[in-house]
Amino acid sequence: MNLAYTRYIVLTALLFLLAPIFARAEGLVVNQKFISDKEIQVTFSGPVDKAVTENIQNYTIYEEPDPDIRLELSSAVLADDGKSVTLFFKEPLNTAKTHVITVHGLAGIDKTTFTVSKSYLGYLFGILISALLINNFVFTKYLGLCVFFGTSKKKDTAKGMGVVFTMVMVVSALMSWFFYNFILIPFDLNFLQIVVFIGLVSLTVQAVDTILRKVNPILFNSFGVYLVLVIANCVIIAVPLILANNNYNVFETFMLALGAGGGFLLALYLMSSVSERMQLANIPKTFKGLPIAFIVAGQFAMAFLGFSGLQLF
């Protein structure tokens, strides 16, 4: 009985999330996308009038925030099947922005307006990858180093820590998002940011702590002295502070938190793999312990620098 309910809820949620994609498929315009930085391709549901679509006078195109600045077309070419038209622009487009296209007189309708933008899912995925690799919290933002050096001795602990951190981060980031957008901003209490965020983080950590104590005592024991430090760990508190700076919406917040947590997990895992090997190595006495760990982390950081500039979408 319970299971059936859950299934319904999950299905409804999925439908709700995917609704924009289905809704978009209706109407005259089926698909629109950037081909390159000077071309946009528009596909219609049926063949359209060649005279109308190839006349560049019939188009008004602008970037969403600048409706008064028209973008000039150099030509519009209808494909042989009469269903898709490719628009060529004089100047390179800023494909990160949403473009609004209006066609006049198409299929007897005075105005047909639609927008072209990069896929939103791709953008969300971009935030995830960015927080995970390009702006990895440990190796390029230098956060959470205490826990990073403290618990990256064994792979098992590292994995457990990483997963718990990710959980705490996602939950606390979502809560902080709600507090930030519905309490701090409307009442002009932005200066209470730090107190509110750290309170929410502590609350989440306390909850995770209580749950973990019951569910997985072994993992709970391996936290050891770091339990107190987790309550106020900079890698967790940094996520709400970053999202407060960037005006993210709730999905973007989720992706950022997930990416940050995943990045932390990745860093811990990589470091612990090296640490396990290093125990067998012959390290000079002065470098034993933390110094060599820092050098290794530095090498990782340099490797992660290679991810910068990575753009998938």
Partner 1 sequence: MANDKSSMQLISRGILSENPIFKLALSMCPAVGISTTVMNGLLLGIAVLFVQVFSSVTISIFKNLIHPRIRIPTYTLTIATWVTVIDLVLAAYLPEAYAKMGIFVKLIVAFAIITMRLEMFASKESVNDSFWDGLGMGLGFMVGMMTIGFVRELLGSGAIFGYDVLGFKPLLFFILPSAGFFVVGLMMAFFNWIEIFYKRSKGLKR
Partner 2 sequence: MKDMLTIVVRLTISCLLAASVMGVCFIFTSNAKKHNEHVKEQQVMYELLGYKNGAKIPESLALHEVYRYVISSSEKQSIGYLVPKASGKEAGYDFVNIDLNGALLENKAVALSETEVLETETRNKAVQQAVGAGYTANFADRIIIVTDNGKRIAYLIGGKFQGFKTFVNVMLAVDPNFSLLGMEILEHEEDPGLGAEIEQDYFKNQFKGKPFEALKTINVVKAPIPDDYLKALTGKLSEADILKFREQYKDKDIYALTGATISSKAVSNGVKGIVLKFAYRINVLDKVLREQQLAVSF
Instruction: Supply the angle between the helices 250-278 and 234-246 in degrees, to the nearest 10.
Output: 150
Cα–Cα distance, 158 to 223 (Å, whole number): 10
200: CB partners within 8 A, 6+ apart: 172, 175, 176, 179, 240
Q: Measured from the CB atom, is 20 or 65 closer to partner 2?
A: 65
Name which of residues 96 to 115 contact partner 2 (CB under 8 A).
96
Is residue 191 within the footprint of partner 1 (CB under 8 A)?
A: yes
**Distance in Å, CB of 82 to partner 1, minimum:** 54
d(CA 254, CA 178): 12
The option from partner 1, partner 2, none interacting with 66 (CB < 5 to 8 A, set by class) reads partner 2
Check binding of 303 to partner 2 (CB under 8 A).
no
Per-residue binder mask for partner 2 (CB under 8 A), 1-20, x = binder:
--------------------
Q: Using the rule CB under 8 A, is 187 a contact of partner 1? A: no
Q: Does 308 bind partner 2 (CB under 8 A)?
A: yes
Q: Which of 163, 167, 241, 274 binds partner 1 (CB under 8 A)?
A: 241
- Whichever of 198 and 208 has its CB closer to partner 1, that residue is 198
Q: How far is CA 32 from CA 52, 65, 116, in A?
A: 18, 19, 6
CB count, 10 Å around CB of 181? 17
Shortest distance in whole angstroms from residue 305 CB to partner 1: 6
Q: Which residue's CB is nearer to partner 2, number 6 or number 308? A: 308
Return all residues near 197 (Cβ < 8 A) that are at least 6 apart.
Answer: 172, 176, 179, 237, 240, 241, 244
Partner touching 135 among partner 1, partner 2, none, CB below 5 to 8 Å by kind: partner 2
Distance (Å, whole) CA 169 – CA 198: 12
* Region near partner 1 per CB under 8 A, out of 26-34, 103-111, 134-142, 166-174: 134-142
Name the amino acid, one letter, at 100.
V
Q: Binding to partner 2 by residue 74, rule CB under 8 A?
A: no
Phi, psi of 189, rounded to the nearest 5 degrees: -110, 30
How many other C-beta atoms can be found within 10 angstroms of the C-beta atom of residue 200?
Answer: 22
* Minimal distance, residue 68 CB to partner 2, in Å: 5
Degrees to nearest 5, angle at CA 262 with 258 and 266: 170
* 96: partner contacted, choices partner 1, partner 2, none (Cβ within 5-8 A by kind): partner 2
Q: What gap in Å lies between CA 80 and CA 82, rounded to an integer?
A: 5
282 scored as a contact of partner 1 (CB under 8 A):
no
SS3 63: strand
Site residue total, partner 1 (CB under 8 A): 46
Q: Which residues bind partner 2 (CB under 8 A)?
A: 65-70, 94, 96, 135, 191-192, 195, 246, 308-309
Residues within the interface to partner 1 (CB under 8 A): 139-146, 149, 191-195, 198-199, 202, 228-229, 231-234, 236-238, 241-242, 245, 284-288, 290-295, 297-298, 301-302, 304-305
